[in-house]
């Protein structure tokens, strides 16, 4: 007949020689092997009866065995807590990690009610410090289960001190769970818990950028102010973006004297370069000196030399160059500055002026000097490209030629400045400069990029933007824009898409305008299957289930608005968004890619290619697509329906309107042209049914298309465009 637990414990205790720590450890192991958690609790009760709990303080093995038994056997758990209280009262001994181990086990098991009871029992005496408690919360707060969140919030609200804002909020935001972070922020604010460090700064900056109506507490505003101060630009531009060619404003002699005195003082101390505000004032003074028609250029340069001027800024250089009437005279002025040991700034504007003067391009030089673009705007590569693209859209050929020449001059100078002496490839560490990645052919850039990735090198968004700008420049362009349907353009588009995919695979953001251009290009080439595939790939890049922060190109970040308060007037702080940011948010990259223009164009392309209305050439035959064969004129509508099903915002009214326009236009051309061009026309009702099938629901009422059958379009003039 087997022994009872008590009898077995008596026998095991008799075998113990001295009743010390080692002996009680043997007893616990013996009872655990025979009776499990019940046997361990029997030993615990015996120690408590004999007031021998002091052995618990001396042995990690005994404490581990008791805690493991306590978390397994809920009916005996209060005995464990009672023993811990006895140790605290009698010996002032606080059981290490008792609260953390019990709570971790119960929360991980999903026993939320037991976890709440355990917290109520242990928190008054065994609550860990803020950092340990924060690690416990951080381990479970990422679990979006409603019961887990309610349990954690109940535990948090019952804490005597609330100081977990800077632990939980950053953990949630880094995991891409901004919605949950916003809910916890409300809980923290109700509990009087505020941020005290910059750990929560990225989340607060995200709120300030994407949810501008957020009301921040003074503590949160202080963190935002610290971030703004750290991320504010080191060099501030002086003056406005657009330069005025008119005569400079007059300044008093005392003001000019004050500027020169400050400059001499700073120069004598050797700290002039560390005082940009003094340097800016001096540059303004020199600009007025060089621009004055009362002072000959040679005398003005000599006066600047006598005043201790060692270098001039771009505005002063522009003012001096404007005094010349030809490229030859500008070259003479540059040589005079060199003789006087006055250096010219190495910025993009001055580089372009020097290159134009050296090559004798009088017209380009005159256009650049007379341009209303501020000299410092040329220093930013993306700004130069934006100006070029804007001039192309406005069909301003004069400014377009100027910007292309400026960019070319800067690239030439960059290549010359980055050339380095030859070295032994077998011993030197491989390095990748921009010149090793920038080629005229996109496929060569893709190969160079893949080689760089294979050697564990990475690129940033600046390099990616430069690569893509060079790739897009390879497209053939005519007076109406890119020749999408040419055989050469089809080849280049495939290469650029491959290059973009390679860049995106490195978690480098690509601006939405570039993605949209690639998608529309596929549409204009009639490759609607490829368009649908690339669209879904973009949605996969921003899948909310990724649970992380996703890169966003700085061109797609929210911009400062006039309605923003002072602390929201910020620089572009972050290039990351949480994965759970809604696709419907108007600053989400997908919202910008698949905007209204894209949706309208895709619907129109479906009609265009199904009805063979495109202006094709012998080298660009009509492309056959699976989507076109299956959904006919509604192939574009089906692409939008697939995007809608993935969570992308699709404007139902816009799609319906575009579909109606497509049906209307095709019916009008059908009555006007008939079968003269060999087309297979569809009735309005057939098109309506195709649109409903592609959309997955009724897109438009039947009453609309019924009236089109009776409408006589032959009296109307032919559609234009």
- pLDDT for the residue 174: 93
The label of the residue with tokens 């804002």 reads: 165
Of residues 16 and 346, more confidence is placed in: 346
Q: What is the rounded average pLDDT for all residues in the chain?
A: 77
Residue-wise pLDDT for 601-622, tens only, equals: 999 999 988 877 554 444 444 4
- pLDDT for the residue 302: 83
DSSP state of 617: B
- pLDDT for the residue 288: 77
Q: Are 337 and 344 in contact (CB under 8 A)?
A: yes
Residues 619, 620, 623: CA angle, nearest 5 degrees? 145
CA nearest neighbour of 34 among 59, 2, 75: 2
Burial class (CB in 10 A: 0-12, 13-18, 19+), 9: buried
DSSP state of 200: G
Residue-wise pLDDT for 283-322, tens only, equals: 666 777 787 777 788 888 888 887 777 788 888 888 888 8
- pLDDT for the residue 172: 95
Q: Is 478 helix (H, G, I), strand (E, B) or coil?
A: strand
pLDDT band at 179 (very low <50, low <70, confident <90, very high): very high
- Residue 671: other Cβ atoms inside 10 A: 15
Sign of the CA dihedral 327, 332, 336, 339?
positive
CA nearest neighbour of 298 among 326, 339, 248: 339
248 conformational bin, left if phi > 0, alpha if psi -120 to 50, beta if neither: beta
Share of the chain above pLDDT 70, in %: 73
**Least confident piece of the model among 185-199, 459-473, 560-574:** 560-574
Structure tokens that stand for 587 in this block? 């600053």
Q: Is 265 helix (H, G, I), strand (E, B) or coil?
A: helix
- pLDDT for the residue 115: 92
The label of the residue with tokens 């060569």 reads: 444
Q: How far apart are CA 20 and CA 139, in angstroms?
A: 38
- Residue 416: other Cβ atoms inside 10 A: 8
Q: What are the b/e assignments for 527-560, b being 16+ CB within 10 Å?
A: bbbbbbebbeebbebbebeeeebbbbbebbbbee
Q: What's the chain's Rg over C-alpha atoms?
A: 37
Q: How far apart are CA 269 and CA 595, in angstroms?
A: 57
- pLDDT for the residue 153: 94
- pLDDT for the residue 247: 35
Residue-wise pLDDT for 494-504, tens only, equals: 888 988 888 88
As a residue count, the chain comes to 721
- pLDDT for the residue 376: 78
Structure tokens that stand for 500 in this block? 């973009």
CA nearest neighbour of 515 among 542, 488, 545: 542
Q: How far apart are CA 606 and CA 612, in angstroms?
A: 10
- Residue 3: other Cβ atoms inside 10 A: 12
Residue-wise pLDDT for 455-493, tens only, equals: 666 676 667 777 777 777 777 766 567 777 778 888 888
Of residues 642 and 274, more confidence is placed in: 642
What is the per-residue DSSP string for 133-182? HHHHHHHHHT---HHHHHHHHHHHHTSSS---HHHHHHHHHHTT-HHHHH
Cα 688 to Cα 597, 627, 634, 650, 667: the distances in Å are 22, 17, 9, 19, 12
Of residues 265 and 95, more confidence is placed in: 95
Q: How far apart are CA 381 and CA 387, in angstroms?
A: 10
- pLDDT for the residue 468: 79
pLDDT band at 180 (very low <50, low <70, confident <90, very high): very high
Q: What are phi and psi of 11, to 5 degrees?
A: -65, -45
Residues 299, 342, 384: CA angle, nearest 5 degrees? 110
Q: How far apart are CA 623 and CA 101, in angstroms?
A: 65
9 conformational bin, left if phi > 0, alpha if psi -120 to 50, beta if neither: alpha
- pLDDT for the residue 567: 40
pLDDT at 444 > cutoff 50: yes
Instruction: Provide the β-strand partners of residue 707.
Output: none
- pLDDT for the residue 679: 54
pLDDT at 160 > cutoff 60: yes
Q: What are phi and psi of 316, to 5 degrees?
A: -65, -40
The label of the residue with tokens 């003056």 reads: 239
Residue-wise pLDDT for 329-348, tens only, equals: 888 888 888 888 888 877 88
């Amino acid at each position: 007949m087997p022994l009872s637990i008590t009898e077995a414990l008596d026998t095991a205790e008799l075998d113990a020689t001295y009743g010390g720590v080692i002996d009680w450890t043997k007893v616990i192991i013996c009872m655990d092997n025979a009776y499990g958690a019940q046997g361990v609790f029997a030993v615990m009760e015996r120690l408590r009866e004999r007031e021998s709990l002091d052995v618990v303080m001396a042995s990690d093995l005994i404490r581990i065995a008791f805690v493991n038994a306590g978390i397994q056997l809920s009916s005996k758990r209060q005995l464990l807590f009672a023993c811990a209280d006895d140790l605290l009262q009698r010996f002032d001994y606080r059981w290490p990690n008792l609260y953390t181990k019990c709570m971790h086990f119960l929360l991980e098991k999903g026993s939320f009610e037991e976890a709440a009871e355990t917290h109520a029992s242990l928190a008054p005496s065994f609550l860990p410090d803020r950092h340990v408690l924060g690690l416990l919360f951080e381990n479970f707060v990422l679990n979006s289960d409603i019961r887990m969140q309610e349990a954690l919030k109940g535990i948090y609200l019952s804490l005597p001190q609330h100081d977990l804002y800077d632990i939980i909020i950053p953990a949630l935001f880094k995991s891409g769970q901004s919605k949950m972070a916003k809910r916890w922020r409300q809980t923290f604010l109700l509990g009087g818990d505020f941020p005290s460090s910059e750990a929560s700064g990225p989340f607060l900056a995200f709120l300030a950028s994407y949810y501008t109506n957020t009301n921040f507490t003074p503590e949160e505003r202080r963190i935002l102010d610290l971030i703004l101060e750290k991320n504010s630009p080191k060099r501030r531009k002086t003056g406005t973006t657009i330069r005025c060619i008119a005569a400079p404003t007059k300044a008093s002699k005392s003001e000019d004297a004050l500027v020169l005195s400050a400059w001499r003082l700073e120069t004598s101390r050797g700290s002039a370069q560390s005082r940009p505000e003094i340097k800016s004032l001096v540059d303004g003074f020199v600009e007025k000196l060089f621009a004055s028609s009362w002072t000959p250029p040679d005398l003005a340069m000599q006066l600047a030399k006598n005043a201790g001027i060692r270098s001039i800024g771009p505005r002063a250089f522009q003012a001096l160059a404007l005094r010349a009437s030809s490229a030859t005279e500008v070259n003479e002025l540059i040589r005079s500055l060199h003789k006087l040991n006055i250096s010219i700034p190495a910025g993009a504007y001055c580089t372009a002026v020097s290159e134009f003067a050296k090559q004798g391009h009088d017209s380009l030089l005159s256009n650049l000097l007379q341009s209303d673009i501020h000299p410092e705007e040329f220093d930013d590569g993306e700004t130069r490209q934006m100006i070029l693209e804007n001039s192309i859209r406005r069909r301003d050929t004069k400014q377009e030629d100027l910007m292309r020449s400026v960019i070319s001059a800067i690239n030439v100078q960059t290549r010359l400045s980055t050339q380095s002496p030859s070295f032994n490839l077998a011993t030197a560490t491989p390095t990748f400069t921009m010149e090793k990645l920038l080629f005229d052919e996109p496929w060569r850039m893709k190969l160079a990029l893949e080689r760089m990735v294979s050697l564990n090198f990475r690129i940033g968004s600046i390099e990616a933007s430069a690569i893509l700008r060079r790739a897009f420049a390879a497209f053939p362009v005519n007076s109406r824009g890119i020749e999408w349907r040419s055989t050469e353009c089809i080849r280049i588009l495939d290469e650029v898409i491959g290059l973009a995919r390679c860049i995106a695979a490195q978690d480098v953001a690509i601006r939405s305008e570039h993605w949209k251009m690639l998608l529309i290009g596929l549409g204009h080439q009639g490759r609607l299957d490829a368009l649908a595939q690339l669209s879904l790939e973009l949605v996969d890049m921003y899948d909310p289930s990724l649970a992380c922060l996703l890169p966003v190109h700085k061109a797609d970040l929210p911009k400062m608005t006039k309605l923003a308060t002072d602390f929201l007037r910020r620089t572009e702080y972050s290039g990351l968004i949480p994965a759970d940011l809604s696709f419907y948010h108007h600053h989400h990259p997908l919202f910008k890619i698949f905007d209204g223009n894209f949706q309208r164009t895709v619907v129109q392309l479906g009609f265009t290619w199904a009805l063979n209305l495109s202006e094709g050439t012998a080298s660009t035959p009509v492309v056959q697509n699976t989507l076109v064969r299956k959904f006919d004129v509604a192939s574009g509508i089906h692409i939008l329906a697939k995007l809608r099903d993935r969570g992308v915002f699709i404007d139902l009214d816009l799609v319906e309107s575009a579909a109606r326009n497509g049906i209307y236009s095709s019916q009008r051309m059908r009555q006007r042209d008939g079968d003269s061009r060999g087309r297979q026309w569809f009735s309005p009702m057939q098109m309506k049914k195709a649109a409903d099938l592609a959309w997955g629901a009724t897109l438009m009422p039947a009453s609309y298309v019924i009236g089109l059958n009776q409408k006589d379009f032959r009296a109307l003039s032919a559609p234009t465009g």
